[in-house]
Amino acid sequence: MPEGATTRVSVSEARQRLAMDRFLLLDVELPEEEGPKEGPADEPPARRLGLDAEELAWFGRPGESARAEFLGDIAGFVIPVVHGVRIAHVHALASERFLVIAHRGRAVLAADITTHLRQEKPHDAVATLFLLLQETLATFRRAAVDALLEVEGLEDDMFEGRRPEQIYRLSQLRRRSALLHHSLLPYLQVVEEIITRRMMSRDFPVERQRLAQEFQRAARLVLADIESLQDATRRAFASYASLVAGEQNGVINRLAIVSVIFLPLSFLTGFFGMNFAFMTDELESRAVFWLLGVGLQVAVLFVAFYVLYRTRIWRRLRDED
């Protein structure tokens, strides 16, 4: 294992090596769907590997929530991992001699873990466990940073041209930030509790204290990245709402201009259309028609445009155009 050599072994050989090897990393690939339990092959993974503790019945079982606990000389974890657009869960058992990782379907972290093993060469299984924990945090960090950059790009595009698909994509990114936060926070809480309890023990080695503190710092940074993503999505939604409100204000301003222009004209038209004796008897000449019917309305239009020109509404519409 220090050299990072990998090989495929049968269940019986894996069981033997778990009992004999001084340093073993075992990756167990389980079926994506749990079938009916009808024979030895369908026994719980821990029992098949010779780990018969009753407390390990959860190991490899689908649907398990985040977990971190000590079971005698074995530590058990259910670790969330970002895999594409979904959150997968990796089960891990760690002791002084071995680290057993179980997952449903294709290995999510196998290639990355193998690469880090060859580069960093951890000296025992516990150091390898912390390497696994750091790599799972890295999946959340990469997902949060990628989503954050996309949100900022969408926010810049909105100011150039607002489109309906932008708000739809923002909704998806907001849901993703909530998924990342909802998946990571309970896991970090249980891991923080178990690490703090172990670090308070006098027999906890100094080297492992350093590894635990590095994990805690990395966890806080990743959680801060996810919270930054949540803040960015809220800010982008607020920017979108502000743009919509600005466009609505522009429409209202234009309607106000139309009202200022046509309401006086409508009043004059209605007034001179009344069938009073004065209207029908005294205002019959062509000169009066041109003076009141045309000249008065031209004067009203001139006054309306002058008022608009002297107010902020006209200048605001000119600046928006």
Is 161 within 8 Å of 176 (Cβ atoms)? no
Q: What Cα–Cα distance (Å) separates residue 244 from each residue in 206, 248, 249?
A: 57, 6, 9
Question: Which pLDDT band, with edges at 50, 70 and 90, does 181 fall under?
Answer: very high
Predicted pLDDT of residue 177:
94
Reported pTM? 0.75
Predicted pLDDT of residue 83:
85
How do residues 225-240 score in pLDDT, each as one tens digit? Answer: 999 999 999 999 888 8
Predicted pLDDT of residue 78:
92
Question: Which pLDDT band, with edges at 50, 70 and 90, does 75 fall under?
Answer: confident
DSSP 198: H
Higher pLDDT, 249 or 130: 130
Distance CA 68, CA 75 (A): 7
Predicted pLDDT of residue 302:
81
Strand-pair category, 24-30 with 67-71: unpaired
* CB atoms closer than 10 angstroms to residue 303: 12
Choose the weakest-confidence range: 68-77, 156-165, 233-242, 298-307.
298-307
Predicted pLDDT of residue 114:
67
**Is the backbone of residue 60 left (phi > 0), alpha (psi -120 to 50) or beta?**
left
Of residues 228, 46, 91, 220, the one with CA closest to residue 147:
228
H or E, element range at 71: strand 67-71
Instruction: Compute the average pLDDT of residues 292-321.
Output: 69
Which two tokens mark 228?
């930054």
Predicted pLDDT of residue 107:
63
Share of the chain above pLDDT 70, in %: 79
- Indicate the residue type of 212: A
Predicted pLDDT of residue 187:
93
Mean pLDDT in the chain? Answer: 80
Predicted pLDDT of residue 284:
64
Is 102 within 8 Å of 28 (Cβ atoms)? yes
How do residues 200-209 score in pLDDT, each as one tens digit? Answer: 677 777 888 8
Higher pLDDT, 198 or 67: 67
> Going by C-beta distance under 8 Å and a sequence separation of 6 or more, which residues neighbour residue 304?
260, 261, 264
Distance CA 91, CA 78 (A): 5
H or E, element range at 248: helix 206-272
- Indicate the residue type of 234: R
Q: What Cα–Cα distance (Å) separates residue 251 from each residue in 56, 185, 248?
A: 66, 45, 5
Which two tokens mark 202?
């006098």
Distance CA 228, CA 193 (A): 24
Q: 125-160 and 110-120 are packed helices; what angle lies between their axes, rounded to 10 degrees?
A: 120
Which two tokens mark 277?
């004796």
Predicted pLDDT of residue 143:
94
How do residues 188-202 score in pLDDT, each as one tens digit? Answer: 999 988 888 776 677
> Going by C-beta distance under 8 Å and a sequence separation of 6 or more, which residues neighbour residue 226?
140, 144, 177, 180, 181, 184
Of residues 18, 176, 199, the one with CA closest to residue 94:
18
Distance CA 180, CA 229 (A): 10
Distance CA 83, CA 81 (A): 6
pLDDT at 39 over 70: no
CA angle 264, 256, 238 (to 5 degrees): 170
> Going by C-beta distance under 8 Å and a sequence separation of 6 or more, which residues neighbour residue 248?
none
* CB atoms closer than 10 angstroms to residue 189: 11
Of residues 80, 43, 50, 44, the one with CA closest to residue 64:
80
Instruction: Compute the average pLDDT of residues 254-258.
Output: 75
